[in-house]
């Protein structure tokens, strides 16, 4: 058993860490305040190859694996989560379904631009009326000749409305199965297709420099060839994508939790109270020690889930554990880091204020904490 990173993994981690500190840190606060999408940062991430990390070179990828993506996400989130979730959603929710389930034509058409970061794809599963219970999907797609006609709406879709968004994959009811349950399928809808409209961005508590929209499909027609994977396999497809995505979100949460430690150590060693740096007081030291313990154990949990996934072993339970644990401790660490910063922790100019606002969604997106517990219990035979 060896949890140490290889030289190549360590080099990737260092290059993303340097990029986060030198390029993301100086400019992201303004995007966060203004709620603007950081196109220039995303362009540079594309040039570094981050959007192609877990994909083979034949599709324009970097030939790495899912763990490499997780390492990059952790280092980005250590500085900023809007940028990290943009990468996470673009890769694990955007490009991955096309790579996993697409035809050769679909891969050739979309993957080169998605893997270079030149274009982004959204993953349209959640609807205004249903999230955790994805089986409750109401959006419908009817085959009319050689076209799908889509009607319905999707809520909270990341990367769905940027200037470089190329497509959204949409989960829709395409019929009824012999047992009476809904037949769900996934369909690729290119941006700009008539009948596909993107609402203005939401006003969010956190992740304010990331792109999130409600989408509407009103007699939206796309070619029958835009079906992604087999008809009726939509449910199985998104379960697979979400299982993997949970490891990526866990990595992102660990990054945020570690960023809270970084900022707290720095601040506690500088800030004076009662004649000494506050870091000299054991009450503060113990808070920071607990924060480090939590980040470390959550990191081990996602490393374990990723290792199982890459070994081709079952990893559903471990991915849910990693996501549940990492998101819980990210919220804990953000709360404590803010406390250590006192009044300054409540000021947006301090990174910990951003961490605090960005932490809560980690317990909600890609399966709430309750859903993770359901997945774990089910896997235990309950």
Q: For residue 279, how many other CB atoms are within 10 A of its CB?
A: 17
Q: Name the minimum Å distance from CB 189 to ligand FAD.
A: 14
> Any contact of residue 371 with ligand FAD (CB under 6 A)?
yes
Nearer to ligand FAD, 92 or 318 (CB): 92
Nearer to ligand FAD, 299 or 357 (CB): 357
> Any contact of residue 212 with ligand FAD (CB under 6 A)?
yes
Compose the 127-146 pattern: x for residues touching ligand FAD by CB under 6 A, - for all others: ----xx--------------
Residue 366 known to be catalytic? yes
Nearer to ligand FAD, 53 or 170 (CB): 170
Q: Name the minimum Å distance from CB 11 to ligand FAD.
A: 30
Cβ neighbors of 368 (< 8 A, separation 6 or more) are 132
Neighbouring C-alpha atoms within 13 Å toward the C-beta of 61? 22
Cβ neighbors of 1 (< 8 A, separation 6 or more) are none
Compute CA distances 332 → 68, 217, 356, whole Å: 26, 39, 9
Show the tokens assigned to 217. Answer: 């499909």
Cβ neighbors of 366 (< 8 A, separation 6 or more) are 242, 245, 246, 249, 323
Nearer to ligand FAD, 171 or 264 (CB): 171
- Which of 14, 30, 144, 370 forms a contact with ligand FAD (CB under 6 A)? 370
Nearer to ligand FAD, 242 or 268 (CB): 242
Q: Are strands 227-228 and 182-190 parallel, antiparallel or unpaired?
A: antiparallel
Are 338 and 261 in contact by the 8 Å Cβ rule? The answer is no
> Any contact of residue 361 with ligand FAD (CB under 6 A)?
yes
- Which of 235, 365, 372, 375 forms a contact with ligand FAD (CB under 6 A)? 365
Query: Given 8, 58, 366, 370, which residue is catalytic?
Result: 366
Q: Name the minimum Å distance from CB 155 to ligand FAD.
A: 7
Q: Residues 79 to 108: which contact ligand FAD by CB under 6 A? A: 89, 93
> Any contact of residue 353 with ligand FAD (CB under 6 A)?
no
DSSP 205: S
Alpha helices in the chain (DSSP H): 7-19, 25-34, 39-48, 66-77, 81-88, 96-101, 104-115, 234-270, 282-310, 316-340, 351-359, 369-379
| Size, binding site for ligand FAD by CB under 6 A | 23
Binding stretches for ligand FAD (CB under 6 A) = 89, 93, 122-126, 131-132, 156-158, 204, 207, 212, 361, 364-368, 370-371
Active site residues: 366
């Amino acid at each position: 058993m060896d949890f140490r990173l290889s030289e190549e993994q360590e080099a990737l981690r260092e290059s993303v860490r340097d990029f986060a500190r030198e390029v993301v840190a100086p400019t992201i606060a303004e995007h966060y305040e203004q709620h603007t999408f950081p196109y220039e940062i995303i362009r540079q991430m594309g040039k570094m190859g981050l959007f192609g990390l877990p994909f083979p070179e034949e599709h324009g990828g970097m030939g790495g694996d899912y763990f490499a993506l997780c390492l990059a996400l952790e280092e980005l989130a250590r500085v900023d989560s809007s940028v990290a979730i943009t990468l996470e959603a673009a890769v694990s929710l955007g490009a991955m379904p096309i790579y996993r389930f697409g035809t050769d034509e679909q891969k050739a058409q979309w993957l080169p631009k998605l893997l270079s970061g030149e274009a982004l794809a959204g993953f349209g599963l959640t609807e205004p009326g249903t999230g955790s219970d994805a089986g409750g999907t109401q959006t419908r797609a009817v085959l009319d000749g050689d076209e799908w006609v889509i009607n319905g709406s999707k809520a909270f879709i990341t990367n769905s409305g940027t200037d470089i968004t190329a497509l959204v994959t949409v989960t829709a009811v395409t019929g009824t199965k012999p047992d009476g349950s809904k037949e769900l399928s996934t369909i690729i809808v290119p941006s700009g297709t008539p009948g596909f409209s993107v609402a203005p961005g939401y006003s969010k508590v956190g992740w304010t420099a990331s792109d999130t929209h409600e989408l509407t499909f009103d007699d939206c027609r796309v070619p029958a060839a835009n079906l992604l994977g087999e008809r009726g396999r939509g449910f199985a497809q998104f379960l697979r994508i979400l299982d993997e995505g949970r490891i990526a979100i866990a990595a992102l949460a660990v990054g945020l939790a570690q960023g809270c430690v970084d900022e707290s150590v720095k601040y506690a060693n500088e800030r004076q109270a009662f004649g000494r740096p506050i870091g000299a007081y054991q009450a503060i030291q113990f808070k920071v020690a607990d924060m480090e313990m939590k980040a470390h154990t959550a990191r081990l949990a996602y490393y374990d889930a990723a290792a199982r996934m890459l070994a081709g072993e079952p990893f559903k339970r471990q991915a849910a554990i990693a996501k549940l644990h990492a998101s819980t401790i990210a919220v804990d660490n953000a709360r404590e880091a803010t406390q250590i910063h006192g009044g300054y922790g409540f000021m947006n100019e301090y990174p910990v204020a951003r961490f605090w606002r960005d932490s809560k969604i980690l317990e909600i997106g890609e399966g709430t904490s309750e859903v993770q517990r359901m997945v774990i219990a089910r896997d235990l035979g309950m």
